[in-house]
């Protein structure tokens, strides 16, 4: 998933008991070419913010013209 002009308006991370973290965020101002053809379940995704980078797979998304996109990524927790 590539999008350079989005604004992340909210984000939340939740740790599961399966050893993964669900990282949900809402984005607005996404380029028009980003659509359901690009957002595929289980597709790899990389979210780069000013203070962190999140890499995982898309497990949920919804699109709304007024509200923007809501996307949830599943991120594996590194094992030590």
Residues 29, 45, 8, CA angle at the centre, nearest 5°? 30
Looking at per-residue pLDDT, the higher value among 58 and 69 belongs to: 58
Task: Give CA–CA dist 2/4, Å, rounded.
Answer: 7
The DSSP call for residue 32 is T
Give the pLDDT mean for 28-40. 62
The DSSP call for residue 34 is -
User: pTM surpassing 0.85?
Assistant: no
Task: Give CA–CA dist 30/38, Å, rounded.
Answer: 12
Q: Are 27 and 45 in contact (CB under 8 A)?
A: no
Q: 């923007």: which residue's tokens?
A: 68
pLDDT category at 28 given cuts 50, 70, 90 is confident
Res 18: pLDDT: 85
Mean pLDDT, the chain, integer: 79
């Amino acid at each position: 998933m590539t999008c350079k002009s989005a604004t992340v308006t909210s984000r939340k991370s939740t740790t599961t008991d399966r050893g993964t973290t669900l990282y949900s965020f809402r984005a607005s101002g996404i380029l028009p070419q980003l659509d359901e053809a690009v957002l595929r379940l289980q597709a790899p995704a990389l979210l780069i913010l000013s203070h962190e980078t999140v890499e995982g797979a898309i497990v949920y998304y919804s699109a709304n013209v007024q509200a923007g996109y809501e996307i949830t990524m599943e991120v594996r927790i590194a094992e030590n």
